[in-house]
Amino acid sequence: MRIRAEELSKTYDRKHRALDSLSIDINMNGIFSVIGRNGAGKTTFVRIMSTELLPTSGRGYINEMDVVDQADAVRQDIAVVPQEARPLPWLTPLQTVSSYLMWRGYSYREANEKGKDALRELGLEGKENEKSRKLSGGQKRKLMAATVISSEAHIVFLDEPTTGLDYLSRKELWQLLSRMKKDRLIILTTHYLEEAEILGDQIMILDHGKLVDLGTIDNLRNKVKLPYVLKVNAENFKLEDDEVQIHPVSEKETFVYGSASKIYGLIPYLVTNKMKFTVEEASLSNIFEQYLGSGEDDENEEEDR
């Protein structure tokens, strides 16, 4: 599956540039994670590529079909769950999935059969005929994801599908996505960097509508200056070295970011002073902070676009 953007831009109200000359070319199956701060352009990217929103300039392609000029053809191949989508409260889970499949062109019988299979896959067997409003928040999110994933769409856009879910519910959804990614491309936007790291076969970082970087977690890690983390468990640990970054987490724990040689060079000192420590590769959170700093979200953003 291939998605391609050429100088894709979107300006809202003639002043707010939500997407700024984004150019990417992805040819893969699996999960493509899109991360960035609030207002980075994640949702705008998803909405343009899923044919919901017209770009201000530039071109977007899904499997080499233009998302503006060939939108009808593109729509045969894609499915989307928008950021705030919820199951209709007066429908049952089975009615929710089957009606969406009918909108995609399945017959009533086919849609019901596939709907039942999807709900079984989700672990919602037995709840298929209850009203959706009775489902938990996690079950509702899973239901929305299952709605599009049960379709034949080759490219699925999920815009922050796990926002607001507890850790266990998120894990359940991760398992579902991992199972479903084999023969399709899932474009997943998320604020949870751990989620993007665990699920993302490729990760795209956006900031202020611009592409910051794109690649596998290892690619991204290799590009940052401080790809290793030394976690020191010692009271009031102090170190003066311009080539590392020191982040005190608490009085008893300090993280030191640095290059492999710098981090491993510190180990003899820690051993001599009988300090407990671990060395890890930088997580996506560490990498993200190195790319964008640890500043606050853009205060001018009223909503995540």
Partner 1 sequence: MMKMKRKIGSQIMASILVNSIYAMINYPVVLINTLLAPLAILAVVTFASKGTLLPVAAVGALIMNMVSSGTSLQQDLSHLKNDMRLQDMIVSSPTSSFIYIIGMAISEIVYSIPTLAFLIILNIIFVKITFLGAFILFLDMATIFTFSISLGFFLSTFTSDIIQSWGFSGILSPLLTTIPPVYYPINYIPYPFRYLAYLSPTTYASEIAQSQTGYYALSASGFATAWLVLIAITAVLTYLALKRSRWREI
Does 301 help bind partner 1 (rule: CB under 8 A)? no
Does 246 help bind partner 1 (rule: CB under 8 A)? no
Kindly state the helix (H) or strand (E) to which residue 44 belongs, with its residue range.
Answer: helix 42-49
- Asked if 190 and 33 count as a contact pair (C-beta separation under 8 A), the reply is yes
Q: Which of 33, 95, 112, 162 binds partner 1 (CB under 8 A)?
A: 95
Q: Provide DSSP, 200-218.
A: -SEEEEEETTEEEEEE-HH
- Sort strands 30-36 and 202-207 into parallel, antiparallel or unpaired: parallel
Pick between residue 32 and residue 100 the one whose CB is nearest to partner 1. Answer: 100
- Asked if 112 and 94 count as a contact pair (C-beta separation under 8 A), the reply is yes
Provide the minimum distance between the beta carbon of 86 and partner 1 in the complex, in angstroms, as a whole number. Answer: 6
Pick between residue 26 and residue 102 the one whose CB is nearest to partner 1. Answer: 102
Pick between residue 182 and residue 274 the one whose CB is nearest to partner 1. Answer: 182
Distance of alpha carbon 65 from alpha carbon 87, whole angstroms:
30
Distance of alpha carbon 225 from alpha carbon 229, whole angstroms:
12
Pick between residue 157 and residue 237 the one whose CB is nearest to partner 1. Answer: 157
Q: At 107, is the secondary structure helix, strand, or coil? A: coil
Distance of alpha carbon 8 from alpha carbon 214, whole angstroms:
16
Determine phi and psi for 13, rounding to 5 degrees. 55, 30
Q: How far apart are the first and last CA of the chain?
A: 25
From residue 165 to residue 194, the character string flagging contacts with partner 1 as x (rule: CB under 8 A) and all else as - is ------------------xx----------
Pick between residue 72 and residue 302 the one whose CB is nearest to partner 1. Answer: 72
Q: Which of 91, 214, 234, 246 binds partner 1 (CB under 8 A)?
A: 91
Provide the minimum distance between the beta carbon of 183 and partner 1 in the complex, in angstroms, as a whole number. Answer: 7
CB neighbour list of residue 135: distance below 8 Å, 6 or more residues apart: 87, 93, 124, 127, 143
Does 13 help bind partner 1 (rule: CB under 8 A)? no
Does 137 help bind partner 1 (rule: CB under 8 A)? no
Query: Binding residues for partner 1, how many (CB under 8 A)?
Result: 42
Q: Which of 34, 80, 143, 199 binds partner 1 (CB under 8 A)?
A: 80
Query: Which residue, among 125, 211, 156, has the nearest Cα to 31 in the 3D structure?
Result: 156
Provide the minimum distance between the beta carbon of 162 and partner 1 in the complex, in angstroms, as a whole number. Answer: 16
From residue 56 to residue 75, the character string flagging contacts with partner 1 as x (rule: CB under 8 A) and all else as - is ---------------xx--x
Interacting stretch for partner 1, rule CB under 8 A, among 90-98, 174-182, 257-265, 278-286? 90-98
Distance of alpha carbon 167 from alpha carbon 138, whole angstroms:
10
251-280: contacts with partner 1 (CB under 8 A): none
Kindly state the helix (H) or strand (E) to which residue 100 belongs, with its residue range.
Answer: helix 93-103
Does 52 help bind partner 1 (rule: CB under 8 A)? yes
**Interacting residues with partner 1 (CB under 8 A):** 47, 50-54, 71-72, 75-76, 78-86, 88, 90-92, 95, 99-100, 102-108, 111, 131, 147-148, 152, 154, 157, 183-184
